[in-house]
Structure 1
Amino acid sequence: MIISSHNIKSAHHRSFALRFLVLLLLFCCWGFAANAQYFDFTDKRKHVTIPFKMVREMIIIQLNINNKGPFNFILDTGVGLMLITDPKLVDSLNIPNRRTLKIAGIGEGDDYEAYATSALDIRVRSLRSYDVAAAILKTDHFGLSNYAGMPIHGLLGYEFFNNLAVKIDYADSTLSVWRPKDIKRQKNGTKVHMSVEDRKPYVKAKVTFTDGHKADNKLVLDIGAGHALSLENISEGKGLPAKHITANLGVGLTGPVSGFLGRIAELDIGKFKIKNLITSFPQGEQFKKLSIKRDGNLGMGLMKRFSMVIDYPDSALYLKPGPNFNQPYEHDMSGMEYYGGGEDLNRIIISRVEPGSPADQIGLEKGDEILAINIKPVKNMSIEQIDNLFKSQNGRNFLLEVYHDGKKDDVLLTLKRRI
C-alpha cells in the first residue's frame, strides 16, 4: 500500500510551522521567566560528551523524560520552548498536571490542540533539567518521523543552551558541553557576537547579491533549519537573483509558504567569506508578525561546515572551519520530495514532484514509491544517503525501480542542476 503524503503536512520544510507554534505557545500561554528553565550537571564534573546522529541536516540526541526513554529529540536553536510532537508520550510519561491549549491560525483547517505540562525531569547523559516544561501536541501534524526515516519525539532548544556552552563537532558527531566558566575556547576559532532575544540567538552578517549590491542582515542562528541561508525580506520583483526556481517552502501560521531558491554571491560572517551560497527566499506576509525584526536565518546547510561553540551566557558564537568547509553547495537535482513510510519508516514515498524537473520528465508522481536505486533496495539505505545521491553530480544517471500506477517499473533518472 502506498502511503499518501497528505499524512505528513510539509514535513520537508516543517520549520516555519514549528517556529510559529512555539512562539504562540510561549507568549500567549506561558508566564515563565526567561531564565527559569535550564540544564546543568548532575554531579561535580565540568564536561560531558554527548553523541548525536546527523539526519537530513538535523542534530538528533537521545534523552530521558520522567525516567522513561530514551527518546529522540531534534536539537534546535530556533525553538524557544520544548515541544513534544509524539502524542503517545502523554500517557507513557505519566504527566498528571496538564491543561489543554487551543492553538489557532496555524495553516489551513481547524485549531490545533496541545497539552501544557508542568516541569519535567529530563536527563541527557550527565545533564538534568530544572523547571523545564513542554507542550505536547495532541495530534502529530508535522510528520518529523516520516521526514527523518526514524522515530522523532520532539524538539529541544532554548532551555538546553540557556545555561551552558555547547560545542558541536559535525566531523565526529559529538556535542561537548561545559559551564561557560569552565570551557577552553578553540584557540583558532573566530568569535562572532551573538545576541539572545526572545529565547533565540541572532548574529549579524553581510550579504552580497549576484547583482553586486550588499546588505547587512540580522539572522537567527537556527540549527534546526535544513537550508543554508534564508532571506525573508526579498520581494519577487526586487532583489531575487536572476537565476532562481520556484520552491515549496512549507506551511506557516496563515497557510502554505511558497518562495524561491537561488544563490547569493557571498555571505560574510566573522572573518569568513562563503561564496555562491544556495539561499531560500520565502514570500508572504507572515514574517511581519514576528516579535523581533530580522532578515532571515542561518541553517544547518551552512553551519555544519563549521565546528562551533554556542555560548548563550557569553553572547558568543565561536567558528572553526570543518573538513568540508570548501565543498560546493548543491541542491536536490531530481525534483522530488519524499519521506519514510511504513511501520519501519524504510519505504520511500514521493510526496511532491516539481513540474519540469527530471523526475517529472520521466513520469514520476506524488504517491509513487521508490523501491530500489541502481538495484540496491532503499530499505537498506538511510534517507540521508538517498538525499546525497540525488544532489551528487549534474548529469549523473540512476536506475530507479518504482511502484507506479499499481505496478512495478524501471525508469532512468538523470540529475540536472537547476540553480
Structure 2
Amino acid sequence: MLTKYKFIRLAIYRKLMICAGFILLFSNALPAQDFAFPGNQKRQSLHFKLIKNLIIIPVYINEKGPYDFVLDTGVGPLIITEPSIIDTLNFAKMRKIKVSGLGLETVEAFVSQNISARIGMAEAQHMPTAILKEDLFNLSGHLGVKIYGLVGFNFFNSFVVDVRYTESRMIFSNPGTKIKYKGSKIPILIENLKPYVYAEVDAPDVGKIKAKLLMDTGASHALSMETFNGDKFPLPYSKIKANLGMSLSGQIKGYLGRVKELSIGEFDFKDVISGFPDYKIISQKIDLKTRNGNLGADLLRKFNIQFNYREGFIYVRPNGNFKMPFEHDMVGMVVYLDQKEYKRFFIGEVDENSPAEKSGLCPDDEIIGVNFRSMEMYSLNELSELFKSGANRSIILEIYRDKQVFFKVIHLEKRI
C-alpha cells in the first residue's frame, strides 16, 4: 500500500491495469451512456486548468460539485478516485472486482451504473462508473490540487472535442453540428474505448518503423516506447536508468532516452524524450500485442486538437508550443504535495547518479524553501518548470530532515 511519503512519478502504468479490468467488466454491460446537451444547445466552450501537461476540468457528480477531474483519453469508463463525493454510497450493495497490478498485489474496486455526471451543461445519466475505495493514483499529490477522478471515452465519444492547449480552453459540439475543422486531418482507431494513432518512429539499429501509439492526454510525458516485433523496443545508445512510474504494487523500472525522429502525419519531431519500460515486467500483465507505445501530453500539447471519435479522425494544428524542445527534469527527483494538514512538499524518489543524489537529497526529505523563498510562493507546476530551466544553473533547497534543517545546492544537469 502506498504511504503519503512513497509517491512516485505519474505514468501510464498506474492506470493501465485498473482500466483494463474495468473495460472487460463494462464490455458486457449496457451500452455506454453518452453525454447530451439540454434542449437545442449544440456546443459549449469550457476553460480548463493545465497542470503538468494534464487537462483538469470541473465535473458535477450526482448534481454536486464541481469537482476537479482529469480529462483523459487513456481511460474508458468514468473513474472516481475519491468516493466521499457520493452521498449514498453503499459498497456492500455494489458489485466488487479485484484488479491486478504489475506484481502480485490485487486491489478492490467497485462498479456502478447509477451515477450521473455533468460537464458544463452536458449531462449523462446512469454512467458506467468505476469507484476506488482510495486514491491509488495519488493524482492530488502529483498535481498539487485535489483530484476526484478521471473522465475519458464517454465524453469524447459524445461530442467533437476541440482542445486548445494554448488557450486552456476546449469547445465541445454535437456531432451533427456544422463544424469548421482546422489543420491537418489524421485518422485514429478507437479500440477498447481508447484512441490510437500511427506514427513513424526512428528505432536504433532498425531504422524507421510504423508504430501504433495510444493517444493519452492523461500521461504527462511525451512518449513511451514499449515493444517492437513481440520483444522490447530497441534502446537508444544514450540513456539513463529511471523509475518511470508506479503500478498498483511496485515501481516500473526502465530507461529514459531520446527517439531521434518521430513523425505524425506531416509533422516531424526531433530528439523526443521517451521512456523505455522494462519489457519483461510489463509484458506479464499488459497485452502489448495491439500497440508499440504511448503518446503523451508533453507532445500532444504542441497542437490544438479536434477529436472526432465517431468518425475516426483528429485535426491537428501546431500552436505556440510546437517548436519548444523536449526537455527532461535536470534534477532527477520527484516532488509531491501533501495537503492533509497544510501544503507540504516532499521528495518521493531520487534517481540514481542524478544531481539530486549527488547533492545529498533523500526520499522523504521535506522541502521548506527554494532559493531562499518560502514554499508558499511555489506551486508544483512552477517547481517542475524550475527543474527544467537550464543546464548549469544552481538551485538552493532548504531541507527539513530528522528535526534538522539543511541547505543543499543542486547543479542542474542535462542528463539525456
TM-score of Structure 1 vs Structure 2, range by shorter chain: over 0.9
1:103 aligned to which of 98, 105, 112:
98
Query: Could you tell me which residue of structure 1 aligns to residue 129 of structure 2?
Result: 134
Amino acid in structure 2 at the alignment position of 1:415: L
1:69 aligned to which of 62, 65, 68:
65
Query: Does structure 1 residue 20 correspond to structure 2 residue 14?
Result: no
- In structure 1, runs of 5+ residues without a counterpart are none
Residue 29 to residue 236, structure 1, CA distance change in 2 (3 Å):
closer
Amino acid in structure 2 at the alignment position of 1:277: V
CA contact (8 A) 2:160 2:175 kept: yes
Distance 1:392 1:251 in 2: 26
Query: Does structure 1 residue 414 correspond to structure 2 residue 408?
Result: no
Query: Could you tell me which residue of structure 1 aligns to residue 238 of structure 2?
Result: 243
Residue 291 to residue 229, structure 1, CA distance change in 2 (3 Å):
closer
Query: Does structure 1 residue 347 correspond to structure 2 residue 341?
Result: no
Query: Does structure 1 residue 121 correspond to structure 2 residue 116?
Result: yes
CA contact (8 A) 2:201 2:262 kept: yes
How far does residue 344 in structure 1 lie from its aligned partner after superposition? Answer: 6.0
Residue 345 to residue 169, structure 1, CA distance change in 2 (3 Å):
farther
Query: Could you tell me which residue of structure 1 aligns to residue 302 of structure 2?
Result: 305
Residue 136 to residue 347, structure 1, CA distance change in 2 (3 Å):
same
Query: Could you tell me which residue of structure 2 aligns to residue 316 of structure 1?
Result: 313
Query: Could you tell me which residue of structure 1 aligns to residue 209 of structure 2?
Result: 215
Distance 1:70 1:253 in 2: 28
Amino acid in structure 1 at the alignment position of 2:136: H
- In structure 2, runs of 5+ residues without a counterpart are none
Query: Could you tell me which residue of structure 2 aligns to residue 81 of structure 1?
Result: 77
CA contact (8 A) 1:205 1:219 kept: yes
Amino acid in structure 2 at the alignment position of 1:224: G
Distance 1:8 1:310 in 2: 38
Query: Could you tell me which residue of structure 2 aligns to residue 256 of structure 1?
Result: 251
Amino acid in structure 2 at the alignment position of 1:366: P
Query: Does structure 1 residue 191 correspond to structure 2 residue 188?
Result: no
How far does residue 408 in structure 1 lie from its aligned partner after superposition? Answer: 1.3
Query: Could you tell me which residue of structure 2 aligns to residue 293 of structure 1?
Result: 290
Amino acid in structure 2 at the alignment position of 1:409: F
CA contact (8 A) 1:205 1:218 kept: yes
Query: Could you tell me which residue of structure 2 aligns to residue 230 of structure 1?
Result: 224
How far does residue 140 in structure 1 lie from its aligned partner after superposition? Answer: 2.1
How far does residue 55 in structure 1 lie from its aligned partner after superposition? Answer: 1.0
1:51 aligned to which of 47, 50, 53:
47
Query: Could you tell me which residue of structure 2 aligns to residue 202 of structure 1?
Result: 196
Distance 2:270 2:157 in 1: 32
Q: Work out the number of aligned pairs and report it.
A: 413
How far does residue 297 in structure 1 lie from its aligned partner after superposition? Answer: 1.2
Query: Could you tell me which residue of structure 2 aligns to residue 404 of structure 1?
Result: 401
How far does residue 7 in structure 1 lie from its aligned partner after superposition? Answer: 2.8
Distance 1:114 1:320 in 2: 39
CA contact (8 A) 1:149 1:339 kept: yes
Please say which of residues 319-328 and 102-111 is displaced more in the overlay.
Answer: 102-111
Residue 342 to residue 169, structure 1, CA distance change in 2 (3 Å):
same
Normalised to the residue count of structure 1, the TM-score between the two structures is 0.92
How far does residue 126 in structure 1 lie from its aligned partner after superposition? Answer: 1.2
Q: Secondary structure of 1:180's partner?
A: coil
Residue 208 to residue 144, structure 1, CA distance change in 2 (3 Å):
same
Query: Could you tell me which residue of structure 2 aligns to residue 37 of structure 1?
Result: 33
Q: Secondary structure of 1:384's partner?
A: helix
Amino acid in structure 2 at the alignment position of 1:384: N
In the TM superposition, what whole-angstrom CA distance separates every residue of 1:244-296 from its partner, at most 9, and x where no partner exists? 01111223467432111100111110110011110111113434642861001
Query: Could you tell me which residue of structure 2 aligns to residue 335 of structure 1?
Result: 332
Distance 1:97 1:39 in 2: 28
CA contact (8 A) 2:227 2:279 kept: no
Amino acid in structure 2 at the alignment position of 1:215: I
How far does residue 8 in structure 1 lie from its aligned partner after superposition? Answer: 6.2
CA contact (8 A) 1:8 1:143 kept: no
CA contact (8 A) 2:11 2:221 kept: no
Distance 2:396 2:36 in 1: 51
How far does residue 227 in structure 1 lie from its aligned partner after superposition? Answer: 0.9
Distance 1:237 1:36 in 2: 35
Query: Could you tell me which residue of structure 1 aligns to residue 357 of structure 2?
Result: 360
Please say which of residues 203-212 and 125-134 is displaced more in the overlay.
Answer: 203-212
Residue 215 to residue 299, structure 1, CA distance change in 2 (3 Å):
same
How far does residue 361 in structure 1 lie from its aligned partner after superposition? Answer: 0.9
CA contact (8 A) 1:352 1:366 kept: yes
Distance 1:394 1:318 in 2: 35
2:161 aligned to which of 163, 166, 176:
166
Amino acid in structure 2 at the alignment position of 1:155: L
Two-structure CA RMSD over aligned residues (Å): 2.4
Distance 2:248 2:91 in 1: 30
Distance 1:27 1:148 in 2: 29
Residue 418 to residue 132, structure 1, CA distance change in 2 (3 Å):
same
Distance 2:401 2:85 in 1: 36
Distance 2:186 2:150 in 1: 26
CA contact (8 A) 1:396 1:415 kept: yes
